[in-house]
Amino acid sequence: MYISESDKMLIRQLIENQLQAFQANDLATALSLTSPKIQNKFTLADFSQIMTAKYGAILKPRSVMFRGFTLVNNFPALIAMIMDQSGNLVKVVFIVQHQQDYSWRVHGYELAGINEKIV
Protein backbone atom coordinates (compact mmCIF):
# COMPACT_ATOMS: atom_id res chain seq x y z
CA MET A 1 0.00 0.00 0.00
CA TYR A 2 1.36 3.40 -0.98
CA ILE A 3 1.12 6.18 1.62
CA SER A 4 1.21 9.65 0.08
CA GLU A 5 3.14 12.48 1.70
CA SER A 6 -0.13 14.27 2.52
CA ASP A 7 -1.49 11.10 4.15
CA LYS A 8 1.74 10.76 6.14
CA MET A 9 1.23 14.30 7.46
CA LEU A 10 -2.40 13.53 8.36
CA ILE A 11 -1.42 10.31 10.13
CA ARG A 12 1.32 12.02 12.12
CA GLN A 13 -1.11 14.79 13.08
CA LEU A 14 -3.63 12.15 14.19
CA ILE A 15 -1.03 10.44 16.40
CA GLU A 16 0.15 13.76 17.84
CA ASN A 17 -3.47 14.68 18.63
CA GLN A 18 -4.04 11.38 20.39
CA LEU A 19 -0.82 11.72 22.38
CA GLN A 20 -1.88 15.24 23.42
CA ALA A 21 -5.26 13.88 24.53
CA PHE A 22 -3.52 11.20 26.61
CA GLN A 23 -1.21 13.82 28.17
CA ALA A 24 -4.27 15.91 29.12
CA ASN A 25 -6.03 12.83 30.61
CA ASP A 26 -8.73 13.30 27.97
CA LEU A 27 -9.40 9.65 27.23
CA ALA A 28 -12.74 10.43 25.57
CA THR A 29 -10.94 12.41 22.88
CA ALA A 30 -8.21 9.77 22.61
CA LEU A 31 -10.85 7.07 22.10
CA SER A 32 -12.69 9.22 19.54
CA LEU A 33 -9.53 9.16 17.41
CA THR A 34 -9.63 5.37 17.11
CA SER A 35 -11.27 3.31 14.38
CA PRO A 36 -14.95 2.37 14.65
CA LYS A 37 -13.94 -1.22 15.43
CA ILE A 38 -11.95 -0.07 18.47
CA GLN A 39 -14.70 2.33 19.56
CA ASN A 40 -17.30 -0.43 19.34
CA LYS A 41 -15.09 -2.92 21.19
CA PHE A 42 -14.25 -0.79 24.26
CA THR A 43 -16.17 1.39 26.67
CA LEU A 44 -14.28 4.44 27.89
CA ALA A 45 -13.53 2.64 31.17
CA ASP A 46 -12.26 -0.46 29.31
CA PHE A 47 -10.12 1.70 27.00
CA SER A 48 -8.64 3.50 29.99
CA GLN A 49 -7.89 0.21 31.75
CA ILE A 50 -6.21 -1.46 28.77
CA MET A 51 -4.18 1.64 27.89
CA THR A 52 -2.94 1.90 31.48
CA ALA A 53 -2.21 -1.82 31.80
CA LYS A 54 -0.57 -2.47 28.42
CA TYR A 55 0.46 0.83 26.89
CA GLY A 56 1.49 3.06 29.79
CA ALA A 57 4.41 4.56 27.87
CA ILE A 58 1.95 6.07 25.39
CA LEU A 59 -0.13 7.79 28.07
CA LYS A 60 2.50 10.10 29.54
CA PRO A 61 5.65 10.04 27.43
CA ARG A 62 8.57 12.19 28.43
CA SER A 63 9.78 12.28 24.84
CA VAL A 64 8.53 11.11 21.42
CA MET A 65 10.56 10.75 18.24
CA PHE A 66 8.83 9.62 15.06
CA ARG A 67 10.92 7.23 13.00
CA GLY A 68 8.97 6.57 9.80
CA PHE A 69 6.24 4.48 8.28
CA THR A 70 5.76 0.78 7.64
CA LEU A 71 2.94 -1.68 6.97
CA VAL A 72 1.56 -4.03 9.61
CA ASN A 73 -0.84 -6.65 8.23
CA ASN A 74 -1.48 -4.33 5.26
CA PHE A 75 -2.33 -1.39 7.54
CA PRO A 76 -0.15 1.73 7.45
CA ALA A 77 1.73 2.29 10.69
CA LEU A 78 3.81 5.10 12.16
CA ILE A 79 6.82 4.01 14.19
CA ALA A 80 7.87 6.09 17.18
CA MET A 81 10.50 5.83 19.86
CA ILE A 82 8.98 6.82 23.19
CA MET A 83 10.76 7.54 26.43
CA ASP A 84 8.54 7.00 29.44
CA GLN A 85 8.65 9.04 32.64
CA SER A 86 11.27 6.67 34.10
CA GLY A 87 13.61 7.10 31.14
CA ASN A 88 12.92 3.71 29.54
CA LEU A 89 12.83 3.59 25.73
CA VAL A 90 10.23 1.63 23.84
CA LYS A 91 9.38 1.34 20.16
CA VAL A 92 5.68 2.00 19.59
CA VAL A 93 3.93 1.18 16.34
CA PHE A 94 0.74 3.18 15.82
CA ILE A 95 -1.38 1.21 13.35
CA VAL A 96 -3.91 3.32 11.46
CA GLN A 97 -6.91 2.65 9.26
CA HIS A 98 -8.26 4.72 6.38
CA GLN A 99 -11.94 5.52 6.83
CA GLN A 100 -14.72 5.83 4.24
CA ASP A 101 -14.76 9.60 4.76
CA TYR A 102 -11.03 9.62 3.80
CA SER A 103 -9.92 10.40 7.34
CA TRP A 104 -7.47 8.27 9.31
CA ARG A 105 -8.07 6.66 12.70
CA VAL A 106 -5.83 4.74 15.09
CA HIS A 107 -6.54 1.03 14.69
CA GLY A 108 -4.10 -0.42 17.19
CA TYR A 109 -0.77 -0.24 18.96
CA GLU A 110 2.20 -2.54 19.16
CA LEU A 111 5.09 -2.24 21.57
CA ALA A 112 8.42 -3.66 20.50
CA GLY A 113 11.94 -3.80 21.81
CA ILE A 114 14.24 -1.14 20.44
CA ASN A 115 16.04 -3.57 18.12
CA GLU A 116 13.03 -5.78 17.42
CA LYS A 117 12.04 -6.13 13.75
CA ILE A 118 8.48 -5.11 12.86
CA VAL A 119 6.63 -7.49 10.55
The domain total for the chain is 1
pLDDT tens for 55-91 read 999 999 999 999 999 999 999 999 999 998 888 899 9
pLDDT computed for residue 118 by the predictor: 55
Confidence of residue 52 (pLDDT cuts 50, 70, 90): very high
- The answer to whether residue 99 sits within a structural domain is yes
Question: Does 118 reside within a domain?
Answer: no
Q: Which amino acid is at 60?
A: K
| pLDDT for 54 | 93
| Domain region containing 99 | 5-112
Range 88-96, long-range pairs (CB < 8 A, 24+ positions) = 88/57, 89/114, 90/57, 90/114, 91/67, 91/116, 91/118, 92/55, 92/57, 92/58, 93/118, 94/11, 94/15, 94/18, 96/11, 96/14, 96/15
**pLDDT classification of 2: cutoffs 50, 70, 90:** confident
Q: Is residue 119 part of a domain?
A: no
* pTM reported for the whole predicted model: 0.91
H-helix or E-strand containing 104? strand 104-112
In DSSP terms, 71 is beta-bridged to 76
CATH for 80: 3.10.450.50
Whether 102 is covered by a domain: the verdict is yes
